[in-house]
Structure 1
Amino acid sequence: MKKYDLRGRVVVITGAGGGLGTLLASALKTRGARLALLDLDEAAVQAQARHLGDESVARGWGANVRDYPQLEETMQAVAAHFGGIDVVIAGAGIQAFGPLERLAPGAFERIIDVNLNGTWRTFKAALPFVKARRGYLLAVSSMAAFVHSPLQAAYNASKAGLWAMCDSIRLELRPDGVGVGSLHPTFFATRMMEDTVGDPAGNALWGGNRKGLWKMVPIETVVLETVEGIERRADTIVVPRNLTLVARAPGFLRPVAERLGFTDAGIRRAIGLSSPSGWQDPQAAARSTGQAGPVATGD
């Protein structure tokens, strides 16, 4: 496959102020990309952008992936500033440790909302611009999509959900020439991992991530593999590569089923028949949101 040349491409990164986002921005700049850095801390990403170059090269925006109207407005501002958007890296994410019995509902819901819903909002807000350039969307998932640890139900569910969501969206956008991928690194050094090692529950679970199955890989390896994955417009990026079999096993037959079961024409027809609510039938829509009246049962 021909390499996706990043020179001059406009790349949006959410969670850009984190460890991975910061190093990805620098690596992508060396490939010639122009960078829109999005994070909750606007001042920090603006300073980060100035370190990378002038505003024709990089610029920072404050953005909250839990706020769709703000994301829409920000993507419009990015496109206006740079002239369009080619690549989106949805990297904003959080985690916490706690079993079902003890974890507060709000903690679970926040993780799902930031990691999974936040990526969906990011992709949706950017899609008109990425679609116009037949670009590429990348969600930062994890090996937790495939290997599910205790005490991390919300994190595991969000990362497995990202994998499934990207597979689904890829089929929708395939006829439009838009690539969709998910990144699945194992443990690597970030502020989040510092929190994990420093948390009693996280340390007990992973043993400080110093050796064995849970040993961390260098963040530079994750950055390099991610950039090369973007240049391949890869469906799935696994870091380190020797864990690819673990990642591939759950979806071994998926590409065959996708090709046989979903044609481009069929996908386009289904999209044309879809509704913004997710249902054409108002009653079905009401039932999905819990707003319908009692459902009759029995004969």
Structure 2
Amino acid sequence: MRTPEPIGGKVVVITGAARGIGAALAERLADRGARVALVGLEPEQLAAVAARCGRGAAWFECDVTSPEALAETVAGVEKRFGGVDVLVANAGIAMGSPLRLSDPDAYDRVIEVNLMGSIRTVRAFLPLLIRSRGYYLQIASLAALSPTPMITAYGASKAGVEAFALGLRTELAGHGVGAGVAYLSFTDTDMGRVAGRSGRLRLHDLDSAIGRLVSGIERRSTYVYGQRFIRLLRPVRGVMPGVVHLLGRGPAARFETSLAQAGPQASSPIGPGGRADTKARTAPDPEPSA
């Protein structure tokens, strides 16, 4: 196991930092002396998180699916901090719906934000990571290890970012840059609580998960497990599709029936983060100044 490198004084960029995992991780890292750059879509929330993180924090409003917005953010981060030591690609949204009933735009947007947003984020910050011989942590999910019905867009995107990060790890090794993937199950966040209510699921403690993420960052770990039990699933991931199919057909059919009765709004991205992304995409363009 790699010896931990103290995070104090290092610059950490976290996407999806307005709430949930991103906000909690930023606060914990700031408590340990890191300087944090918070990236997200909700200015008021980002400002509040930055205030809690102290004078070493700054925030940047950015849609991670936009290369132009990311380029501006990278320039802003470099100007404010001088470089980047750690990048945490955390931004993501989710929806729960069978493909047959899902809104196509909402379904595609989950993949666009979670997968392409992560790829574009890494591409944008990569020159700064190479310069610092830094570390990139991709936030994935238990859904990357075990296919799950009704969240197939989310699962596909998280399996995609896992494959992306682990493949990129080998590419970056020669540049001295480390890379890892973090897996989390249903955690006590805004998005987790919404998903938990719909599935009547027990949520896992947020503080414990954040502690494991911080440890993974300090050790530049290849695999980080937000909950210990997930480690046990990696060796048996080959049998998980069959198990899920066998046990999940009945619940999936019942869920589809209830969703059909709820109407199209039931397949919208869930939680405040999902609403923020929808709002950002549908907001009218500002009028040009005279």
Range into which the TM-score falls when normalised by the shorter chain = 0.7 to 0.9
1:217 partnered with 2:204: yes
Helix, strand or coil: the match of 1:138?
Answer: strand
1:229 partnered with 2:228: no
Q: Distance in 2 between matches of 1:11 and 1:88?
A: 6
Q: Which residue does 1:82 correspond to in 2?
A: 81
- Per-residue deviation, residues 64-116 of structure 1 (Å, max 9, x unmatched): 11111111110121011111101011111111111121112212210000001
Q: Distance in 1 between matches of 2:150 and 2:50?
A: 37
1:243 partnered with 2:230: yes
Does structure 2 conserve the Cα–Cα contact (< 8 Å) formed by 1:39 and 1:63? yes
Q: Which residue does 2:132 correspond to in 1?
A: 133
1:189 partnered with 2:185: no
Q: Distance in 2 between matches of 1:248 and 1:72?
A: 39
Does structure 2 conserve the Cα–Cα contact (< 8 Å) formed by 1:143 and 1:247? no
Q: Distance in 1 between matches of 2:219 and 2:113?
A: 27
Does structure 1 conserve the Cα–Cα contact (< 8 Å) formed by 2:20 and 2:190? yes
Give, in angstroms, the shift of residue 221 of structure 1: 0.9
1:149 partnered with 2:136: no
Q: Distance in 1 between matches of 2:3 and 2:205?
A: 28
Please tell me the residue identity of whatever aligns with 1:242: F
CA 1:175–1:249: 2 relative to 1, 3 Å: farther
Give, in angstroms, the shift of residue 147 of structure 1: 1.3
Does structure 2 conserve the Cα–Cα contact (< 8 Å) formed by 1:197 and 1:209? yes
Q: Distance in 2 between matches of 1:222 and 1:108?
A: 27
Give structure 2 stretches of 5+ with no counterpart: 239-290
Does structure 2 conserve the Cα–Cα contact (< 8 Å) formed by 1:14 and 1:21? yes
State the identity %.
38
Give, in angstroms, the shift of residue 2 of structure 1: 2.6
Q: Which residue does 1:124 correspond to in 2?
A: 123
Does structure 1 conserve the Cα–Cα contact (< 8 Å) formed by 2:210 and 2:226? no
Does structure 1 conserve the Cα–Cα contact (< 8 Å) formed by 2:41 and 2:63? yes
Q: Which residue does 2:286 correspond to in 1?
A: none
- Per-residue deviation, residues 176-200 of structure 1 (Å, max 9, x unmatched): 11011111011111111222234xx
Q: Which residue does 1:24 correspond to in 2?
A: 25
Give structure 1 stretches of 5+ with no counterpart: 211-215, 252-299
Comparing 233-242 and 223-232, the one that deviates more: 233-242
Q: Distance in 2 between matches of 1:72 and 1:46?
A: 21
Helix, strand or coil: the match of 1:209?
Answer: coil
Does structure 2 conserve the Cα–Cα contact (< 8 Å) formed by 1:111 and 1:155? yes
Comparing 239-248 and 65-74, the one that deviates more: 239-248
Does structure 2 conserve the Cα–Cα contact (< 8 Å) formed by 1:42 and 1:63? no
Aligned length: 237
Does structure 1 conserve the Cα–Cα contact (< 8 Å) formed by 2:84 and 2:129? yes
Give, in angstroms, the shift of residue 24 of structure 1: 0.6
Does structure 1 conserve the Cα–Cα contact (< 8 Å) formed by 2:62 and 2:69? yes
CA 1:159–1:82: 2 relative to 1, 3 Å: same
- Per-residue deviation, residues 145-202 of structure 1 (Å, max 9, x unmatched): 011111111000001111100111101101011011111011111111222234xxxx
Please tell me the residue identity of whatever aligns with 2:210: V
Q: Which residue does 1:175 correspond to in 2?
A: 174
Does structure 2 conserve the Cα–Cα contact (< 8 Å) formed by 1:46 and 1:61? no
Q: Distance in 1 between matches of 2:228 and 2:176?
A: 26
Please tell me the residue identity of whatever aligns with 1:101: R
Q: Distance in 2 between matches of 1:27 and 1:159?
A: 24
For 1:54-93, list aligned pairs within 5 A.
54=55, 57-93=56-92
**TM-score, scaled relative to structure 1:** 0.76
Comparing 115-124 and 240-249, the one that deviates more: 240-249
Helix, strand or coil: the match of 1:132?
Answer: helix
Please tell me the residue identity of whatever aligns with 1:193: G
Give, in angstroms, the shift of residue 242 of structure 1: 2.6
Please tell me the residue identity of whatever aligns with 1:170: R
1:33 partnered with 2:20: no
Does structure 1 conserve the Cα–Cα contact (< 8 Å) formed by 2:89 and 2:118? yes
CA 1:165–1:248: 2 relative to 1, 3 Å: farther
**TM-score, scaled relative to structure 2:** 0.79
